[in-house]
A and B are shown apart, each in its own frame.
Chain A
Amino acid sequence: MDAVKRYFRSPAAVIGLVLLLIVLAMAISANWIYPREPLALAGRPLIWPFSNPRFLLGTDNSGRDIAAQIFYGARISLLIGGVATAIAIAIGILIGAFAGFYGGWVDNVLMRVTEAFQTLPNFVLLLVLVAVFGSTLTTVTIAVGVVSWPAPARLTRAEFLSLRNREFVQAGRTLGMRDLQLILGEILPNALPPVIVYASVIMAVAILLESALAFLRLSDPNVASWGNLIGLGRDVLRVQWYVSAIPGIAILVTVLAVSLVGQGLNDALNPRLKGR
Chain B
Amino acid sequence: MDFSRLEINRRSALLTSAAIAANVINPMRAFAQETPRKGGVFNVHYGAEQRQLNPSIQASTGVYIISGKIQENLVDLDGNGQPVGVLAESWEASPDGKTVTFKLRKGITWHDGKPFTSADVEFTAMQMWKKILNYGSTLQLFLTSVDTPDPQTAIFHYERPMPLNLLLRALPDLGYISAKHLYESGDIRQNPTNLAPVGTGPFKFVKYERGQYIIADRNPDYWRPNAPYLDRIVWRVITDRAAAAAQMEAGELDYSPFSGLTISDMARLAKDKRFIVSTKGNEGNARTNTLEFNFRRKELSDIRVRRAIAHAINVPFFIDNFLGDFAKLGTGPIPSTSTDFYPGANTPQYPYDKAKAAALLDEAGYKPGAGGTRFSLRLLPAPWGEDISLWSTFIQQSLSEVGITVEIVRNDGGGFLKQVYDDHAFDLATGWHQYRNDPAVSTTVWYRSGQPKGAPWTNQWGWQDPAVDKTIDDAATEIDPVKRKALYAEFVKEVNTELPVWMPIEQIFVTVITAKARNHSNTPRWGSASWYDLWLSA
The segment from A21-29, A35-43, A168-176, A184-192 found at the interface with B is: A35-43
The segment from B391-399, B478-486, B514-522 found at the interface with A is: B391-399
Within 8 Å CB of B321, what residues of A? Answer: 44-45, 63
Given A45-B322, A235-B241, A235-B386, does the pair A39, B263 have CB atoms closer than 8 Å? no
Q: For the complex, give the distance between the alpha carbons of A62 and B393 in Å.
A: 7
Task: For the complex formed, measure the closest distance between the CB of B242 and the CB atoms of chain A, giving whole angstroms.
Answer: 5
The segment from B40-48, B67-75, B406-414 found at the interface with A is: B406-414
Within 8 Å CB of A114, what residues of B? Answer: none
Q: Assess whether B262 is interfacial by the CB under 8 Å rule.
A: yes
Q: Determine whether the beta carbon of A238 is less than 8 Å from that of B265.
A: yes
Q: For the complex, give the distance between the alpha carbons of A62 and B389 in Å.
A: 9
Q: Determine whether the beta carbon of B264 is less than 8 Å from that of A135.
A: no
Name B246's closest neighbour in chain A (CB-CB). A238
Q: Mark B368-405, 1 if CB is under 8 A from A, else 0.
A: 00000000000000010010011001101110100000
Name A231's closest neighbour in chain B (CB-CB). B389
Total contacting residues, chain A, CB less than 8 A? 27
Name B262's closest neighbour in chain A (CB-CB). A235
Q: Assess whether A221 is interfacial by the CB under 8 Å rule.
A: yes
Q: Mark B139-181, 1 if CB is under 8 A from A, else 0.
A: 0000000000000000000000000000000000000000000
Within 8 Å CB of A220, what residues of B? Answer: 410
Within 8 Å CB of A40, what residues of B? Answer: 397, 400
Q: Assess whether A56 is interfacial by the CB under 8 Å rule.
A: no
Q: For the complex, give the distance between the alpha carbons of A102 and B201 in Å.
A: 72
Given A62-B393, A239-B268, does the pair A217, B383 have CB atoms closer than 8 Å? yes
Q: For the complex, give the distance between the alpha carbons of A235 and B410 in Å.
A: 18
Within 8 Å CB of A236, what residues of B? Answer: 262, 264
The secondary structure that dominates the A interface is loop
> Which interface residue of B245, B265, B398 has the most chain A CB atoms within 10 A?
B265
Q: Determine whether the beta carbon of A235 is less than 8 Å from that of B383.
A: no
Q: For the complex, give the distance between the alpha carbons of A230 and B68 in Å.
A: 37
- Residues from 256 to 271 in B contacting A, C-beta threshold 8 Å: 262-265, 268
Q: Determine whether the beta carbon of A61 is less than 8 Å from that of B264.
A: yes
Within 8 Å CB of B409, what residues of A? Answer: 134-136
Q: For the complex, give the distance between the alpha carbons of A40 and B400 in Å.
A: 9
Q: For the complex, give the distance between the alpha carbons of A46 and B241 in Å.
A: 19
Q: Determine whether the beta carbon of B263 is less than 8 Å from that of A221.
A: no
Contact of A61 among B390, B396, B407, B408 (CB under 8 A): B390
Within 8 Å CB of A234, what residues of B? Answer: 242, 262
Q: Determine whether the beta carbon of A61 is less than 8 Å from that of B322.
A: yes
Q: For the complex, give the distance between the alpha carbons of A39 and B268 in Å.
A: 26
Q: Determine whether the beta carbon of A37 is less than 8 Å from that of B400.
A: yes
Q: Determine whether the beta carbon of A39 is less than 8 Å from that of B396.
A: yes
Within 8 Å CB of A109, what residues of B? Answer: none
Q: Assess whether A222 is interfacial by the CB under 8 Å rule.
A: yes
Q: For the complex, give the distance between the alpha carbons of A239 and B263 in Å.
A: 12
Q: For the complex, give the distance between the alpha carbons of A62 and B262 in Å.
A: 14
Q: Determine whether the beta carbon of B410 is less than 8 Å from that of A135.
A: yes
Q: For the complex, give the distance between the alpha carbons of A45 and B246 in Å.
A: 23
Within 8 Å CB of A131, what residues of B? Answer: 412, 415
Task: For the complex formed, measure the closest distance between the CB of A275 and the CB atoms of chain B, giving whole angstroms.
Answer: 44
Within 8 Å CB of A219, what residues of B? Answer: 410
Within 8 Å CB of A217, what residues of B? Answer: 383, 389, 410
Q: Assess whether A240 is interfacial by the CB under 8 Å rule.
A: yes
Within 8 Å CB of A239, what residues of B? Answer: 264, 268
Name B263's closest neighbour in chain A (CB-CB). A235
Q: Mark A227-250, 1 if CB is under 8 A from B, else 0.
A: 000000011111110000000000
Q: For the complex, give the distance between the alpha carbons of A62 and B388 in Å.
A: 12
Q: Assess whether A218 is interfacial by the CB under 8 Å rule.
A: yes
Q: For the complex, give the distance between the alpha carbons of A37 and B373 in Å.
A: 14
Contact of A39 among B245, B386, B397, B398 (CB under 8 A): B397
Q: For the complex, give the distance between the alpha carbons of A45 and B386 in Å.
A: 14
Given A39-B396, A61-B322, A220-B410, does the pair A46, B390 have CB atoms closer than 8 Å? no
Q: For the complex, give the distance between the alpha carbons of A135 and B409 in Å.
A: 7
Name A232's closest neighbour in chain B (CB-CB). B389
Q: Determine whether the beta carbon of B264 is less than 8 Å from that of A62.
A: no
- Residues from 398 to 454 in B contacting A, C-beta threshold 8 Å: 398, 400, 407-412, 415
Task: For the complex formed, measure the closest distance between the CB of B37 and the CB atoms of chain A, giving whole angstroms.
Answer: 31
Task: For the complex formed, measure the closest distance between the CB of A38 and the CB atoms of chain B, giving whole angstroms.
Answer: 11
Within 8 Å CB of A238, what residues of B? Answer: 242, 245-246, 264-265, 268
Within 8 Å CB of B390, what residues of A? Answer: 61-62
Q: For the complex, give the distance between the alpha carbons of A252 and B148 in Å.
A: 70
Given A61-B390, A62-B390, A134-B410, does the pair A235, B396 have CB atoms closer than 8 Å? no
Q: For the complex, give the distance between the alpha carbons of A174 and B15 in Å.
A: 106
Contact of A237 among B242, B410, B411 (CB under 8 A): B242
Task: For the complex formed, measure the closest distance between the CB of B48 and the CB atoms of chain A, giving whole angstroms.
Answer: 15
Q: Determine whether the beta carbon of A46 is less than 8 Å from that of B397.
A: no
Q: Mark A101-145, 1 if CB is under 8 A from B, else 0.
A: 000000000000000000000000000000100111000000000
- Residues from 2 to 49 in A contacting B, C-beta threshold 8 Å: 37, 39-41, 44-46
Q: For the complex, give the distance between the alpha carbons of A75 and B396 in Å.
A: 22
Within 8 Å CB of A135, what residues of B? Answer: 409-411
Q: For the complex, give the distance between the alpha carbons of A224 and B334 in Å.
A: 37
Q: For the complex, give the distance between the alpha carbons of A56 and B408 in Å.
A: 28
Task: For the complex formed, measure the closest distance between the CB of A65 and the CB atoms of chain B, giving whole angstroms.
Answer: 12
Name B322's closest neighbour in chain A (CB-CB). A45
Task: For the complex formed, measure the closest distance between the CB of A31 and the CB atoms of chain B, giving whole angstroms.
Answer: 15
Contact of B394 among A37, A41, A46, A134 (CB under 8 A): A41
Q: For the complex, give the distance between the alpha carbons of A7 and B396 in Å.
A: 47
Name A219's closest neighbour in chain B (CB-CB). B410
Q: For the complex, give the distance between the alpha carbons of A124 and B398 in Å.
A: 36
Q: For the complex, give the distance between the alpha carbons of A237 and B246 in Å.
A: 10
Task: For the complex formed, measure the closest distance between the CB of A226 and the CB atoms of chain B, giving whole angstroms.
Answer: 17
Q: For the complex, give the distance between the alpha carbons of A131 and B416 in Å.
A: 11
Q: Determine whether the beta carbon of A41 is less than 8 Å from that of B397.
A: yes
Within 8 Å CB of A235, what residues of B? Answer: 241-242, 262-264, 386
Q: For the complex, give the distance between the alpha carbons of A40 and B397 in Å.
A: 5
Name A244's closest neighbour in chain B (CB-CB). B242
Within 8 Å CB of B400, what residues of A? Answer: 37, 40
Q: For the complex, give the distance between the alpha carbons of A239 and B397 in Å.
A: 25
- Residues from 196 to 234 in A contacting B, C-beta threshold 8 Å: 217-222, 234
Within 8 Å CB of B389, what residues of A? Answer: 217
Q: Mark B232-270, 1 if CB is under 8 A from A, else 0.
A: 000000000110011000000000000000111100100
Task: For the complex formed, measure the closest distance between the CB of B314 and the CB atoms of chain A, giving whole angstroms.
Answer: 10
- Residues from 320 to 353 in B contacting A, C-beta threshold 8 Å: 321-322
Task: For the complex formed, measure the closest distance between the CB of A21 and the CB atoms of chain B, giving whole angstroms.
Answer: 32
Task: For the complex formed, measure the closest distance between the CB of A43 and the CB atoms of chain B, giving whole angstroms.
Answer: 10
Task: For the complex formed, measure the closest distance between the CB of B198 and the CB atoms of chain A, giving whole angstroms.
Answer: 37
**What 5 additional pairs, Cβ within 8 angstroms, besides A41-B394, A217-B410, A221-B408?**
A40-B397, A62-B397, A63-B322, A222-B396, A238-B246
Which B residues form the contact surface with A (CB < 8 A)? Answer: 241-242, 245-246, 262-265, 268, 321-322, 383, 386, 389-390, 393-394, 396-398, 400, 407-412, 415
- Shortest Cβ-Cβ A-B pairs, 3 listed: A235-B262, A236-B264, A135-B410
* 16 pairs of residues in contact across A and B, judged by CB atoms under 8 Å: A37-B400, A40-B400, A41-B398, A46-B264, A61-B390, A62-B394, A131-B412, A135-B410, A218-B410, A218-B412, A219-B410, A221-B408, A222-B396, A235-B241, A235-B386, A239-B264
